[in-house]
Structure 1
Amino acid sequence: RIPEIKDAIGLSNGAFGFVLIGSTFGSIAGAQLAGRFIHTYGSQRVIFVGSVIMPAGLAGMALATNAVALFLTLFTMGVGYALLDMSYNFQGTVVEKILGRRYMSSFHAMWSTGAFITTVIGGAITRHVSPQVNLLVIAAVCLIAYLISATFLLPPELDGHKGDAEHEAKIPLFGKNVMPLWLLGVGLLASLVGEGAASDWGAILLRDEMGYEKGVYASAFASFALAMIVSRFLGDRALDYFGPARLVKLGGYFGGSIWGIAMAIAVPLSSSHSLTALIIVNIGFVAAGLGIGPMFPAFILAATKVPGIAPAVAISRVGVIGIAGFFFGPTITGVISQYTSLSIGMMYPVAMLILSGYLSRGIKSSKA
C-alpha cells in the first residue's frame, strides 16, 4: 500500500524518500540497544517489548495525515522492527548451536513467506479496502501473533545471555578488533539496500515508470519475495555446499547484474510491449531475490564467529550497520529518482548488491 500512502499525503519521490529516513533512525536506535538488552535480559524479553512497539508504529502509519506524523510512526516501527530482528536472529544462532545444524536460512525463509503472503493479499484487496483499514487490521493481527509466539521461544536461562565475559559486551565504535564487524556490516547493508528498494520502490517503478495498474504493480515485490522464499529454504544446504562466502559472492554478482539488465530493458519496452516488459522486469526481481536471499543469514552467522565479542553484541553491531540499508537505501533511491528518473535511481540498489558480492571476503575473514 506504499504508493497509496505516498499519494494520500501528497509527497514527491524525493520528499517520500526523506520521510523514509524515520525508519532508518528508528532501526539504528533499536539495533544499537538490542545487543546490550539481549546480553543483559535475554532475547525472549526483548522480543516481548518489540512485539508491542512495532505494531504500534504500523497502526500509526494508518492514521498519519502529514509527513511529520508519518516520519514519527516510521521511527517507532523501525525501533520495534530492529528489536525483533536482532532478538530473533540471536535466537536462531542459539538454536543452531544447541542442535548442531544450520537452520538460520530457513528461519529467514519464514520471514520472506510472510512478506510474500502479505504482498499477495495486499495486491488482491487494494480495490476493496483502504490502506488505513488494511494497516490497522495487520497491526492488530501482528500484535496478537507476536505475543503468542514469543511465549514459545527459548527463555533467558537457555539463550546464553550473560554467558560471555562482560568486557566482550562493551566494544568500541572503531578499532582493530571490531573492523571485521564493519566489513560484515557494510556487506549486509549493501544487500539490504536492494531488499529495501524492492520493497519500497518496486511497485512504484511498475506503476509510474511502466504504467501498470493496481494489483499488477504489486507483482514485482511478489516475485522478489517468492524468489527469496525459495533461496532461503534451500539456503541452509547451499551454505554447506558452496560455503557462505562463495554463496554471497555468486548472489551479489549474478543477482545484481541480471536485475539491472532486466530493468534497463523492461522500462523502455513497456510502452510498446506491456506483457513482455512485465515478464522481463519480474525476471529481474526474481534474480535479485535469489541473490539476496541467503545474504542476511550468512553475514549474521559470520558476525557470531568474530573472536572476543559477545555474539548478541556482534549481531547488534553488524545489524545496526546493515539494517539501516534496508531503510536508508530507499531514501537515496528516492533522491536520485527525483533528479533523474526512478528507473535510473533503481540502478543504485543494483550497484550495492554487486558490492555486497565483492564484500563476501569479510565472511572469509570471520571463519564462518
Structure 2
Amino acid sequence: MSQTLTPFQHGIRARNALWAIFFFMGVVSMGWVPRIPEIKEAIGLTNSQLGMVFIGSTIGAVLGAQFAGRAIHTFGTKKVVSGAVLVMPVGLIGMGSATTFTQLFLALFVMGFGYANLDITGNTVAVEVENLVDRKWMVSFHGCWSVGAFATTVLGGSIAHAVDPRENLIGVGIVSILFFIPLSRYMLPPDLDNHKGDDKDSSAKIPLFAKETAPLWWMGFGMLGGLIAEGSASDWGALLLKDSMGIGKGLNAAAFASFSLAMIIARFSGDWALTKFGPAAVVRIGGFGGAIIWGSAIAIAVPLSDSHPLPAFIIINIGFAAAGLGIGPMFPAFILAASRIPGIAPGVAIARVGVTGIAGYFIGPTITGFLADIFSLPVAMFYPVALLGMAGFFSRVIKV
C-alpha cells in the first residue's frame, strides 16, 4: 500500500481519517456527560462517591498513556490505534450497563485506558501528518473532537426524556465501533510514521528527571491545569446547573454544550491564532482570561438563580463558553511544543507530557467531587477555575 501512494497522499489520507477519529473520540469520551445526573441518581452516589468513580478513569488514563508512549515506538502507531479504537467504546458500553459503584469504576478504567492510548497515538500521528503535508492541522483535529463532544451532548440532552442512559450509551458505543474500525486502517504506514520499532533509538528512552526533560514536566503541569478545568466543566457542569441552580433534565446540559461550542470555535480558528500570535500568547490569554470570566460567572449566576433564573442561566453559559474559548487551543499548543524538543522522539515527548495532562483531565473531577461534599459544588468549581489560570502561567515554557 505504501508503494501505491506518495508520502503526501498518505498524509492527506491519514489527515482525513484523523478528523473522523478525533470526532468519534469526542463522541465516545463525552457520551455520558449529559446522562451523569441520571446515572448518579440511579446508582445512588454522593458527590464524593461520584468523584471516587472518576479515579477509575484516572488510573486507566495514566497506565494507557504510559503504555502508548512505549508501544507506538515499538509497534508503530497504526497497530496501537487499531487496538485503542476498540477499547474506548467498550468502556462507554460498560458505563451504560453499570448498576453498581464497582461496575461503573471498572468501566471508567477501561474508558480511560483506551482514551489515553488513542489520544497519545492520534496526536503522534498528527505531528507526522503535519510534517508530510507541510500544513498546520493539529488544532483542527482537536476541533473535530469538540464537534463530537458537542454533538453527543446535544443528543444526550435532547433524548433524555425518551431514551434511558443505558440505551443511549450502548447505542453510541456500538455505532462508534462500526466507524472506528475502518478509519484505523488509514493511519500512516510504518515507513512514514517515524516509529519503526527501533527500540534502541536513544531518543525513545529519556530519564524521568533531567535537565533536558525538565521542560516536559512544566508543559505537563500547564496541560494539567487546562485539562483539569476541561474535565470539571465536562463532568460537573450539568450537576452545577441541576443541583445548584434548579435547572431541569436535558436543559442542564446547556453549560457543557456552551463550553463545547466555544471550544469548537477556538479550535477551528486555533491553527490561525497559534501562527499569528504564537502558542505562548494564546495559552496565556486563554488561561487568565478564561479563568477570570468563568469564575465571575459562577460567583454571579448561582446566587442570582433563585430570584432571576433566566439571566442567571445566560450568565453561567457565558462563563462556560469563556472557559471553552480559553481551553480550546491549550492541549494542541502544549503537544506541539513537546513534539519539537530536540533529541527526544515526538511520541515519547507527547506521552510524557500527555500522561501528566490526561491524568489531570480524569483526576480533576474527583477532587472537585470531594470539595463539593466538604463545601458546595459552586465553591468546588473555583478549583478548576484556579487551575485554568495556572495553565496560563505555564505558557512561559512554550518556546515554539
Does the pair score TM above 0.5? yes
1:221 aligns with 256
1:147 aligns with 181
Residue 156 of structure 1, CA deviation: 2.0
2:93 aligns with 59
- Aligned pair partner of 1:248 in 283, 287, 290: 283
2:225 aligns with 190
- Aligned pair partner of 2:292 in 228, 248, 257: 257
Q: Distance between the aligned counterparts of 1:81 and 1:56, measured in 2?
A: 11
Q: Distance between the aligned counterparts of 2:108 and 2:47, measured in 1?
A: 17
- Aligned pair partner of 1:26 in 48, 52, 60: 60
Residue 143 of structure 1, CA deviation: 0.9
Q: Distance between the aligned counterparts of 2:270 and 2:377, measured in 1?
A: 31
Classify the secondary structure of the residue corresponding to 1:178.
helix
1:95 pairs with 2:129: yes
Give me the TM-score of the superposition, normalised by structure 2. 0.90
Classify the secondary structure of the residue corresponding to 2:340.
coil
2:32 aligns with none
Give me the TM-score of the superposition, normalised by structure 1. 0.98
Classify the secondary structure of the residue corresponding to 1:128.
coil
1:5-154 superposed matches below 5 A: 5-154=39-188
Paired AA for residue 15 in structure 1 = Q
- Aligned pair partner of 1:279 in 299, 303, 314: 314
Paired AA for residue 115 in structure 1 = A
1:294 pairs with 2:341: no
Residue 162 of structure 1, CA deviation: 3.2
Paired AA for residue 303 in structure 1 = A
Q: Distance between the aligned counterparts of 1:7 and 1:163, measured in 2?
A: 47
- Aligned pair partner of 1:170 in 190, 193, 205: 205
Gapped regions of structure 1 (runs ≥ 5): none
Classify the secondary structure of the residue corresponding to 2:192.
coil
Classify the secondary structure of the residue corresponding to 1:177.
helix
Q: Percent identity?
A: 57
Classify the secondary structure of the residue corresponding to 1:46.
helix
Paired AA for residue 3 in structure 1 = P
- Aligned pair partner of 2:239 in 183, 194, 204: 204
Q: Distance between the aligned counterparts of 1:89 and 1:144, measured in 2?
A: 22
2:6 aligns with none
2:367 aligns with 332
Classify the secondary structure of the residue corresponding to 1:97.
helix
Q: Distance between the aligned counterparts of 1:133 and 1:155, measured in 2?
A: 37
Classify the secondary structure of the residue corresponding to 1:226.
helix
Paired AA for residue 111 in structure 2 = M
Classify the secondary structure of the residue corresponding to 2:212.
coil
Contact kept, 8 Å, 2:136 with 2:271, in 1: the verdict is: yes
Name which of structure 1's ranges 59-68 and 108-117 shifts more when overlaid on structure 2. Answer: 59-68
Gapped regions of structure 2 (runs ≥ 5): 1-34
Q: Distance between the aligned counterparts of 1:46 and 1:89, measured in 2?
A: 12
Q: Distance between the aligned counterparts of 1:306 and 1:107, measured in 2?
A: 21
Q: Distance between the aligned counterparts of 2:66 and 2:114, measured in 1?
A: 12
Q: Deviations over 1:216-254 (max 9, x none)?
A: 100000000000000000000000011000100000000
Residue 116 of structure 1, CA deviation: 0.3
Q: Distance between the aligned counterparts of 1:44 and 1:363, measured in 2?
A: 29
1:363 aligns with 398
Classify the secondary structure of the residue corresponding to 1:127.
coil
Q: CA RMSD in A?
A: 1.0
1:349 pairs with 2:384: yes
Classify the secondary structure of the residue corresponding to 1:359.
helix
Q: Distance between the aligned counterparts of 1:170 and 1:71, measured in 2?
A: 33
Q: Distance between the aligned counterparts of 1:69 and 1:36, measured in 2?
A: 29
Residue 175 of structure 1, CA deviation: 1.6
Paired AA for residue 73 in structure 2 = H
Classify the secondary structure of the residue corresponding to 1:20.
helix
Residue 19 of structure 1, CA deviation: 1.0
Residue 163 of structure 1, CA deviation: 8.0
Q: Distance between the aligned counterparts of 2:311 and 2:239, measured in 1?
A: 19
Contact kept, 8 Å, 2:298 with 2:319, in 1: the verdict is: yes
Q: Distance between the aligned counterparts of 1:191 and 1:7, measured in 2?
A: 29
Residue 36 of structure 1, CA deviation: 1.0
Residue 326 of structure 1, CA deviation: 0.8
Residue 168 of structure 1, CA deviation: 1.3
Classify the secondary structure of the residue corresponding to 1:159.
coil
- Aligned pair partner of 1:266 in 269, 280, 301: 301
Paired AA for residue 184 in structure 2 = A
Residue 357 of structure 1, CA deviation: 0.2
Paired AA for residue 190 in structure 1 = G
Paired AA for residue 85 in structure 2 = S
Classify the secondary structure of the residue corresponding to 2:211.
coil
